[in-house]
Structure 1
C-alpha cells in the first residue's frame, strides 16, 4: 500500500511538471527551434571568423553551453526518447564545436595512434582536427533534428497499425476505482456532466479528453464515467478541451 502511494505521488508530480510545460507548449516549441537555428548560425560564424582569428572558438563557450542547455530543457518533457536523443546531440555538438579545439587547437591533426600487430608497432596517423570536429557537429545536429521529429511528429516513425502511444493512461471503469483512490471515491458520474453547455457539441470530435482524477491526469472517453470530484483539463488561454481527436487535424501529434 505504501509503495502504491509513493508511485501515485510520483506520477502526480510528473504530471504536474508535464502540465506546466504543456501549458507553455508554444513557448518551448519556439525555444527549441530558436536554439537549433542559433547553433547553425553560430557554427557558420565561427567557420568564417576562424580565418581571421584562429582562437575564436575559445570564446564561444559562454554562448554554446546556454543554447545546448535551453534546447534540452525545451524538449525533455516530451518523452524519454527525445530526451535521450537531445542529450546525445548536445554532447556531440559540444565536442565538435568546442572541446576538440580546446584540447587540440594548436594541432592540425589528431595525435598518431600506435597499433600492435603481431609484435610490431605500426604508427597510424590521426585524422585532421577539422574533420573530427565536422563529424561530431553533423552527428549532433542529426540527433537534435531527430529528437524534434520524434517529439513533434512521432507518427512518422510508427508503423501503420501499431498501437498509438499516449502521454497519459487511458481511464477505464472496469476496475473498482476504490482500489486505487481509497474510500473518498464514493460514486461515478458521467463525463458529460463535467462539461459546459458550449462543449456539448464539440466533445463529439474527441476520442479522449484529459480529466484530472485522484490527482492524476487520464485520457477519458466522453461517454465514460469518472469518480465524483474529477475535473476536466482545459487549455489555459482559450479554455478549450484537451485530448485526442477522432480525426487527425494535421496538428495532433498523437
Structure 2
C-alpha cells in the first residue's frame, strides 16, 4: 500500500439537521458529530438552544454552525440551503427533523379544518423537506462524477411517524402531512437516483408532547410489543445508519418498538391520560 494514501486524512462529511436545537433533532445532530460528521444546526426560534447544540458538537471535535430559518417561508428554505453550503461546503445528508405538530380531528365540531393551520402544517412538514431534497439533488447532479461510482451517495432522511402504517383519526392534519411526505419521498427516490437517496424514518412515541404528563408518557412508552418505544438516541443511531448505508433508498424504516404492529383507534398518548 502506498504510504501517502494510507496516511491521507479522512474527508469529513457534513449533515444539515432541521429542528436541531432541541428534542429529537438535537439528539440526531449530536450523534452525527459523535460519528465524525460536521453538522449544520437549523433552528426556528430557539437560538439559545441552537448555540448550546453547536457548542456540544464543537467539543466533540466537529465543525458546527447554527442557521436560522422559518420553514413556513419558501424563500427562507432556499436561503437556508445556500447559506449552509456557502459556509460549510457541500452537504452529504439532510435530516428533516423539524415538524409542525398540533392536534386536530376531522370530526371535531363546530369548526371545520382551519385553512391557515392546515396550510402551515403542509408547508413545514411537506414542502420544506421536498424543497431541501430538490436543492440537494441539484447540488449532486451538478457534479461531474456519478456519485454511485464512488459508493458515496448522499441521502435525505425524512422523519415520519409509525402511525402511517396503523392510522387513527387523531392529529388529522399532521398525519396527512406525514403521509404526503412519505409518498413524496418514494417518488423522489426514483426521480433523484442515482445522485441522491431519499429514506423515511418513522419513530414511535419518543418524548412527551403537548399536554401529555410525564407519567402518561412513561406509560404510553411501554405500550409496544417490546415494552418500549423509540428514544431520541434510537432515532439518531438509525439516521446515521441510513446516511452511511449507500444501498438504502425509497423505503421507510420503523423505529418504534413494534408500536405500528398494535392497532389503535386513538393516538397512544390518549390511552394513558
Greater fraction of residues in helix: 1
Computing the radius of gyration over CA atoms, which structure comes out larger, 1 or 2?
Answer: 1
TM-based fold match above 0.5 = no
Higher RCO (Cα < 8 Å, 6 or more apart): 2
TM-score by length of structure 1 reads 0.22
TM-score by length of structure 2 reads 0.21
